[in-house]
Amino acid sequence: MLFCIPSYLSAQDNKSGTVDIFMGVDFNYRDIYFNNRVYDILINLTPGVRWNMGHRWEVAAQALVPVVNQYGDRYKNVRLNMAVLSKQLAVGQHWKMKVTGGLFGAERYGLDMKNMFILNRWLAMTAQVGLTGYCSMASGWEASTMERLTAQAGPEIYLHRWNTQISVRGGRYVYGDYGVVGEGYRHFKHVSVGVYASYSDKGKEDAGFKVIVMLPPYKRTARKVNIRPASNFRLTYSVEAETYANRTYFTDPEQNERTGWFDRNLLPWGTDTMSPDFIVKERKEEEK
């Protein structure tokens, strides 16, 4: 006789062999003050897929589907935005890393390595190194040689009592400028609110705020193929809106500052120690 035993776990656990198909929204606007218009809007649907291959290997891809476009012909086409293969691993009890290759966000492609070295429960060091080139499918195929080296590193502090995260990273960015970015976030249930300030030898000073909202449903049922909304929606406001200063790229379609670079059960630190945003009800079949 078959019977089912339900169990509850965080959505980031026991993912081996699963496929997620998800849909999000990419919202962009810019101030123009031209011809009686004060801003332009660009809204894209962002369908994506994620295959968890096991042993922390993962394949992910995402497309951009324009819905509202006031940015011009360059942004009118449906196009591939990201296609990556990644591997996460822990080295000992303090160092975790993620190596990714493929087509990244911000029209970059290449290789990327992210690292976190945990010093104690409230302090860690982070570093990201990438070797990339330009690649765009917005108006035909455009690509450059993979020869741009970028690297940023710095400390990250997590204050458990207030669920507050503070980070400072400096280094070389996508367009060859050198700079530093400081960020502070207060994490609430399903929402994170942050402010940032930056300096670049190309764009000088800038500041702004970010809001990350984790999207429902927060209780889910585990299946081999899961169809769901994107995990989060990000909103960033920049005072100067300098396109070519302190520019970085994402290597995951659902990357955000709340959940960070790594699986939450890989050497948990910082927001990994908070209650998970998503709880998955898994059904196990056993024979009696």
Would you state the pLDDT for residue 14? 54
Would you state the pLDDT for residue 101? 99
Greater confidence (284 vs 273) lies with 273
| DSSP structural state of residue 268 | -
Cα–Cα distance measured from residue 254 to residue 231, given in angstroms and rounded to the nearest whole number: 6
Is it the case that residue 11 has pLDDT exceeding 80?
no
72-94 pLDDT, tens digit each: 888 899 999 999 999 999 999 99
Residue type at position 208? G
Is it the case that residue 281 has pLDDT exceeding 90?
no
Would you state the pLDDT for residue 3? 30
CA angle 106–107–110, rounded 5-degree value: 105
Would you state the pLDDT for residue 98? 99
Distances (CA, A) of 187 to 1, 2, 184: 46, 43, 10
152-170 pLDDT, tens digit each: 999 999 999 999 999 999 9
- Reported as half-sphere exposure (CB side, CA atoms, 13 A), residue 11 has a value of 19
Phi, psi of 271 (to 5 degrees): -65, -15
Residue type at position 82? M
89-137 pLDDT, tens digit each: 999 999 999 999 999 999 999 999 999 999 999 999 999 999 999 999 8
* Look-up of token digits 């429902």: 216
Going by C-alpha positions, the residue among 133, 142, 55 that lies closest to residue 90 is 55
Is it the case that residue 4 has pLDDT exceeding 50?
no
Would you state the pLDDT for residue 288? 42
Would you state the pLDDT for residue 2? 30
Which pTM does this prediction carry? 0.89
Would you state the pLDDT for residue 240? 81
187-211 pLDDT, tens digit each: 999 999 999 999 999 888 999 999 9
Cα–Cα distance measured from residue 114 to residue 283, given in angstroms and rounded to the nearest whole number: 34
Is it the case that residue 233 has pLDDT exceeding 80?
yes
- How many CB atoms sit inside 10 A of residue 201's CB? 11
For the chain, the domains span 2-14+82-287
Average of per-residue pLDDT values in the chain: 91
Name, in order, each residue with C-beta under 8 angstroms of 144's C-beta and a sequence gap of 6 or more. Answer: 133, 134, 135
Which of these ranges, 167-171, 221-225, 236-240, has the smallest mean pLDDT?
236-240
Cα–Cα distance measured from residue 15 to residue 30, given in angstroms and rounded to the nearest whole number: 39
Distances (CA, A) of 95 to 29, 117, 261: 39, 4, 13
